[in-house]
Amino acid sequence: MHAIRKTGSLFLVLLLFISATGQTSDPAKMKTFIDALMKKMTVDEKIGQLNLVVGGEATTGSSVSQDVDNKIRNSNVGGIFSITTPARIRKTQEIAVNNTRLKIPLIFGMDIIHGYKTAFPIPLGLSCSWDLKLIEQSARIAAQEASADGLCWTFSPMVDISRDPRWGRIAESSGEDPYLGSAIAKAMVKGYQGTNLAANNTILACVKHFALYGAGEAGRDYNTVDMSRVRMYNEYLPPYKAAIDAGVGTVMTSFNEIDGIPASANKWLLTDLLRRQWGFKGMVVTDYTSVNEMIDHGLGDLKTVSALSLKAGVDMDMVGEGFLKTLKQSLSEGKVTMAEIDRACRNILEAKYKLGLFDDPYRYCDENRKNEIFTEANRKQARLTAAKSYVLLKNQGDILPLQKKGTIAVVGPLANSRENILGTWAVTADYSNPPKSLRESLAEVAGSGVNIVYAKGANVSEDSALEARVSVFGKKMERDNRPAAELIDEALKAAAGADVIVAAMGETAEMTGESSSRSELTLPASQQALLDALMKTGKPVVMVLFTGRPLVLSKEDKQLPAILNVWFGGSEGGLAIADVLFGDINPSGKLTTTFPRNVGQIPIYYSHKNTGRPLAGNEFQKFRSNYLDVSNEPLYPFGYGLSYTTFSYGEVSVSNKSPKGAQKLTATVTVTNTGKRAGDEVVQLYIRDVVGTNTRPLKELKGFTTISLKPGESKQVNFTISPDDLKFYNHELKYDWEPGAFTIFIGPNSRDLKSTDINWSK
């Protein structure tokens, strides 16, 4: 396909209209086909299409679909998720195609979140690469592998902005920033869907969770969201919109309410905004039983909430079967209309049509594609991507990179762990080929010149209730039941003969993810005690931090000379840590979420407003906006991350200090590698709108680019800025820019910036 695409525009045009097996993606032909099909369908068959059931392989709610094969046979199912392999999917598809009157194929979905069998870093980690090509490629590989395993629909990308690390699902997000989040949303959609959905190696994407799921109160999952429209439009909605603009085929509603109405019944959200304002033409699916959950939200009985949901704009009902059980009756009572059922049915049939399923229901059931899964090449790419997602938080005295000689003591509760490196929501990963542990990876990458000694030293936590709660989806806390003092003693003995100690600390994989909110974000006491003991040895200690969220590291930042944050890197994550620790790869990841000093600072994010009483400097001042007991500043700001080399930034200059109207300007900075190694640097552009009719953030990310510099080398970096970059939604939700003063900042993170002021007139 790639070869064909390159051969010229004639082929490209043909390709747009004719898929490999002859089915067209011409909208007029699609309409004719679906009109004809729907004419033949009974009301029951139409309602059956709106029902999405779950297979046995992974479930995330308390109810599970029953009697699935019979329901398919009775035309009561439109799609199924969480079953895999061409053989099993073919068998299930055969029931629909051979045993139902109209032979309408099923659509097969799955939560393919960060890779398929080849797992990539958790999305929060992936975002820290700031590398859109790498991110797109990870989705492309996931689509290739998933489609080779029978699937054609993924419940990804999740693009929920989150500024609350208590929320466990921040791990699945791309962090706090709408600009970066939008760019990543687009890259993911492109990666999954490619340019031809009907090809057998592309899959339908589903942007989720629409909307505002990341803004639940107090970081508690599924909790109430209450937000002004101005904030919504400027800060939380852009990534969903970016996915829509990139052509995402499906949208998943969120569990939370918005303006007092749960998303799955929110007509403003699903019809006025999504379809009318944004022009979305695809299919809307609910989240897991979220129709039924509206009974507990307090919106009425199953019949009422199902009708509300359909009327609001939902097409497909995930697992709960409210549509299946009640819509016919609601129709006869005039509570829903035939037009509404038809609309939902049509959107689902169109999705199947675009995937080419009417043309060939077994398009994704090719047993001969096994060799496309978990390949050497995919794993190599995953290893590189993982290394690019790691963020060096501290490296005092250049302790890192480690030398490939001497003795290294690898200690800590996560040093010998394999499955945890896969991270949360890795249900599709290849557990028969788990990642190599940090201990194994260091030994492999170091080669024979290094002596690696190991001791666990501590448990992740001594709390057995927590252990039980997070031992799910094939992950374990792997607790050692010996007394804590004995574990520490053993670690100290291992460390005694070492030149350097590598301490693998943090969270297990399922301490983040769905339904995994935490109210304390410090390292558990068992791990702190181990670190205290290790520090007393006087040896250099490098902390390798596994986490799915920003943790509170105030103590460790003071205590330790070096911290490498490795999130959960996926199938090759362990080896990638060794690549970075030994300097085979120079880290270049930058944080996409702010790391707070304590939980009380949350929500904390770089693009906050000034307030009428801003604090000047960092010292407490009475009657200013600050705290009695902690500074306003985060521990590590958005955009922050170190390298094994250093970069210096020159002054920011602009091509025009007083641009007018639609003129563009170029902002320029020279960046120099002032250290001794080659390195990559993510150069970031921020803009402040100094005066407006609405209050505006102190700065907003508006551009970024990665440059590679050899030692001593300088490069000029140019950003083109146009009035489009200045636009925002005002209190009337008008999207425009306002003339006046702006500050242009460029730098290595959201804190350490050089700036210049300009005045843009209309």
Shortest spacing between CB 209 and ligand BGC, in angstroms: 6
> Is residue 22 within 8 Å of residue 198, measured between CB atoms?
no
User: SS3 sequence, 649-710?
Assistant: ECCCEECCCCCECCCCEEEEEEEEECCCCCEEEEEEEEEEECCCCCCCCCCEEEEEEEEEEC
Of 23 and 290, which has the nearer Cβ to ligand BGC? 290
Of 233 and 473, which has the nearer Cβ to ligand BGC? 473
Shortest spacing between CB 59 and ligand BGC, in angstroms: 7
Shortest spacing between CB 424 and ligand BGC, in angstroms: 11
Q: For the window 386-415, what string marks contact with ligand BGC as x by the rule CB under 6 A? A: ------------------------------
Tokens representing residue 389 in the block:
């997602």
Q: Which residues in the 15-54 window bind ligand BGC by CB under 6 A? A: none
Of these, 33, 37, 38, 60, which contacts ligand BGC (CB under 6 A)? Answer: 60
Shortest spacing between CB 539 and ligand BGC, in angstroms: 44
Of 143 and 445, which has the nearer Cβ to ligand BGC? 143
Of these, 164, 350, 360, 514, which contacts ligand BGC (CB under 6 A)? Answer: 514
Decide: is 288 part of the binding site for ligand BGC (CB under 6 A).
yes
Shortest spacing between CB 727 and ligand BGC, in angstroms: 31
Decide: is 108 part of the binding site for ligand BGC (CB under 6 A).
no
> Is residue 118 within 8 Å of residue 560, measured between CB atoms?
no
Q: Name the 3-class secondary structure at 62.
A: coil
The DSSP line for 356-394 is TTTT-TTTT--GGGGGGSS-HHHHHHHHHHHHHH-EEEE
Decide: is 287 part of the binding site for ligand BGC (CB under 6 A).
yes
Shortest spacing between CB 597 and ligand BGC, in angstroms: 30
Q: How far apart are CA 451 and CA 453, in angstroms?
A: 7
Decide: is 293 part of the binding site for ligand BGC (CB under 6 A).
no
Q: Tell me the H-state helices in 269-424.
A: 293-297, 302-312, 322-332, 338-354, 376-389
> Is residue 594 within 8 Å of residue 638, measured between CB atoms?
yes
Q: For the window 61-90, what string marks contact with ligand BGC as x by the rule CB under 6 A? A: x-----------------------------
Decide: is 210 part of the binding site for ligand BGC (CB under 6 A).
no
Of 57 and 366, which has the nearer Cβ to ligand BGC? 57
- What are the phi and psi torsion angles at 519 (to 5°)? -100, -15
Of 78 and 748, which has the nearer Cβ to ligand BGC? 78
Shortest spacing between CB 256 and ligand BGC, in angstroms: 11
Residue 159 amino acid letter:
V
User: SS3 sequence, 701-714?
Assistant: EEEEEEEEECCCCE
Distance of alpha carbon 475 from the chain centroid = 20
Q: Name the 3-class secondary structure at 400.
A: coil
Q: For the window 474-513, what string marks contact with ligand BGC as x by the rule CB under 6 A? A: ----------------------------------------
Of these, 130, 155, 240, 686, which contacts ligand BGC (CB under 6 A)? Answer: 155
Of 23 and 512, which has the nearer Cβ to ligand BGC? 512
> Is residue 289 within 8 Å of residue 315, measured between CB atoms?
no
Of 288 and 728, which has the nearer Cβ to ligand BGC? 288
Of 117 and 394, which has the nearer Cβ to ligand BGC? 117
> Which one of 149, 287, 360, 680 is the catalytic residue?
287
Decide: is 579 part of the binding site for ligand BGC (CB under 6 A).
no
Shortest spacing between CB 546 and ligand BGC, in angstroms: 22
Shortest spacing between CB 510 and ligand BGC, in angstroms: 14
Of these, 111, 149, 440, 689, which contacts ligand BGC (CB under 6 A)? Answer: 111
Q: For the window 679-698, what string marks contact with ligand BGC as x by the rule CB under 6 A? A: --------------------
Q: How far apart are CA 199 and CA 479, in angstroms?
A: 46
- Burial class (CB within 10 angstroms; exposed 0-12, middle 13-18, buried 19+) of 240: buried
Shortest spacing between CB 60 and ligand BGC, in angstroms: 4
Of these, 208, 456, 696, 699, which contacts ligand BGC (CB under 6 A)? Answer: 208
Decide: is 240 part of the binding site for ligand BGC (CB under 6 A).
no
Decide: is 454 part of the binding site for ligand BGC (CB under 6 A).
no
Q: How far apart are CA 711 and CA 649, in angstroms?
A: 14
> Is residue 671 within 8 Å of residue 683, measured between CB atoms?
yes
The DSSP line for 93-161 is HHHHHHHSSS-PPPEEEE---SBSSSBPPPHHHHHTT--HHHHHHHHHHHHHHHHHTT--EE---B---
Shortest spacing between CB 104 and ligand BGC, in angstroms: 22
For residue 597, give the nearest of 641, 559, 550 by alpha carbon: 550
Where are the extended beta strands (E) located within 547-611? 562-565
Residue 141 amino acid letter:
I
Q: How far apart are CA 264 and CA 253, in angstroms?
A: 6
Q: How far apart are CA 95 and CA 250, in angstroms?
A: 25
Q: How many CB atoms lie within 10 A of CB 449?
A: 9
Burial 191-223 (b: 16+ CB within 10 A, else e): bbbbebbbbbbbbbbbbbbbbbbbbbeebebbb
Of 111 and 145, which has the nearer Cβ to ligand BGC? 111
Of 288 and 595, which has the nearer Cβ to ligand BGC? 288
> How many residues of this chain interact with ligand BGC, rule: CB under 6 A?
8
Of 336 and 470, which has the nearer Cβ to ligand BGC? 470
Residue 315: active-site member: no
Sign of CA dihedral 416, 420, 423, 429: positive
Active site residues: 287
Binding site for ligand BGC (CB under 6 A): 60-61, 111, 155, 208, 287-288, 514
